[in-house]
Amino acid sequence: MEFDFNNFSIVLILLNFIYFSLKQLDSDIHFQDINLNYINMKIKHLLFVCIGALALHACSSDEEILNAPNGGVGETAGTSVELVVPVGCRTIRIDYPTASGIESMTASISPVAKVISGQNVSPITNTTVNIVSSVDTYVNIYDENDTKLVENFPIMATSLRAASAGNIMIPEDAVNEYVTSDGPFTFYHSSGVAMFDDSWPFFAAIVDADFSDVVVDYDIEAKTVNMNQAPNQSWRECVKVVMHLRTVGGMFPEKVGLVLEGLDSKYIDNYEAKLTLGNWNEVIPPNSLSSTVDISGAHPIITLNNIDWVTSTDATHATYINSKTGKNQKVNISGAKYYNVEPGFINVGGDLFTLTVTFRGKDRSVTSKAEGDAMIANFIGAVMNTETQNFFINTDTRHFNVGNFEIHMKGYNPTDAYSSIYPSASTIGVAKDNSTTYCDNQGYVWGFKVPVLTRHAWEETSFFEAYPEYEAWVKSNGAVNKEWYKHPEGSKISIWW
């Protein structure tokens, strides 16, 4: 294979950022239009200070693109990859699987990081890798001493945001994805906030449209083990989901759930679920919230049940021990109509109902290498591919003689339990967009994901007023105002976060 090297450099100011474009990879993989977010490696003995210039060379191949969507042209996804490069490192190597075995390509680092004033210097490189793959796969990245910097990063054909799909773009790229490392353990994270309005299938942009009817924040983590460093520790490998219930601002929501569509139940050996107030207090009020974990299907489903309890009078009398103060505190504030959505009735400093579910994988020391590799790639993909994280709420409007509904975000499918009901339910209320799910014909939606620190609107405060740039963004399917959540109208959003 011949390589065509294109050299470019970027001035480093304190921290050195490397960008490289991989134009076309051999065989099954073509490097093109996906912005790969990868790693913040923790190497304690290296200092991250350097001024200079680095250049990475991109390589290309004349091999044919295999089944790349839209001829290999799609929407970008992900964020930046941060690699800690050791002092003296001149090249990195990327390994990727093909039908004939593991193939490799090399990228150069120039000039080599030097020692300044007697200190070790290691640039943090912000590397953009553009990849389009016709199949689900993964890559490993090594330094020139064959030290693995990146392990089993998933590249998924199913994760491509192809322009023709037009389904999920609300805004998956606003959700934080990052990777950390500690000894033989690597941790893959994605986190964010899921916000819902409970009015589906009726008015997406009318009524109050405050999107605080249910708000949960979440962190989803995959933990993997370097088998070369710790061959007896693979039993620690898992996928962990942590969900905090921030608000219940409507009278209809009963449950909030998550379908982990990227995690295959067949790789789950066992699981543990804990419902707490705060991150440790397992003494929660009786007859309050509960949780359910279902792994009987192809993918796990997690639900936090009976969430309307927090808006009841029982919640304004029930107490628990606050994890910060050690004192008894009421779950909700007396006089509150709802939970954490009304000015003067925000439980500032209070603990939140927290659901933690840990799915443990099979012990790779007793499985075949192929099965173990597939399991780890599946775990990582379930976290880093945010489009497989399908949040939803269940509502009860039977006292209006309407029925129970299951509400998801745009482009996501209802659960199997609701799939037969969805077609008829979606014909009720406002006219829907027939090309996708949970979206009306003007582009309005009933739920979306945003970064963790995004604050919700006050009760009965229109989200369109709280975030003036939101409406144009959602109606354009994410094409404009991509950072709308950074520009709120301060008086109309909660001060809690």
Tell me what the mean pLDDT of segment 30-58 comes to: 28
| CA dist 67 → 24, 25, 137, 378, 436 (Å) | 13, 13, 14, 22, 24
Query: What ranges make up the beta strands (E) of 109-236?
Result: 124-127, 130-133, 137-143, 148-155, 176-182, 185-196, 214-225
Provide the token pair at 299.
Answer: 């993918």
Report the run of H or E that residue 466 belongs to, with start and end. helix 463-466
3-class SS shares of the chain: helix, strand, coil, % to 5: 15, 35, 50
pLDDT tens-digit map of 197-224: 999 998 755 556 899 999 999 999 999 9
- Among 3-7, 146-150, 360-364, top mean pLDDT goes to 360-364
Q: Is the pLDDT of residue 16 over 80?
A: no
Q: What is the percent of the chain where pLDDT is above 90? A: 50
| 214 vs 446: CA distance, rounded Å | 11
Residue 191 or 12, more confident = 191
Distance CA 294, CA 310 (A): 24
Whose CA is closest to 21, among 57, 75, 46, 70?
A: 57
Q: Who has greater pLDDT, 103 or 386?
A: 386
Global model pTM greater than 0.85: no
Gap between the Cα atoms of 256 and 247, Å rounded: 11
What pLDDT is attached to residue 134? Answer: 47
Q: What is the pLDDT of residues 325-342, one digit of tens each?
A: 899 999 999 999 999 999
Q: Which of 130-139, 229-238, 391-400, 458-467 has the lowest mean pLDDT?
A: 130-139
What is d(CA 367, CA 379) in angstroms, rounded to the nearest whole number? 16
Whether 334 contacts 197, CB under 8 Å: no
Beta bridge partners of 194: 216, 449
pLDDT for 399: 56
Say what the pLDDT of residue 194 is.
97
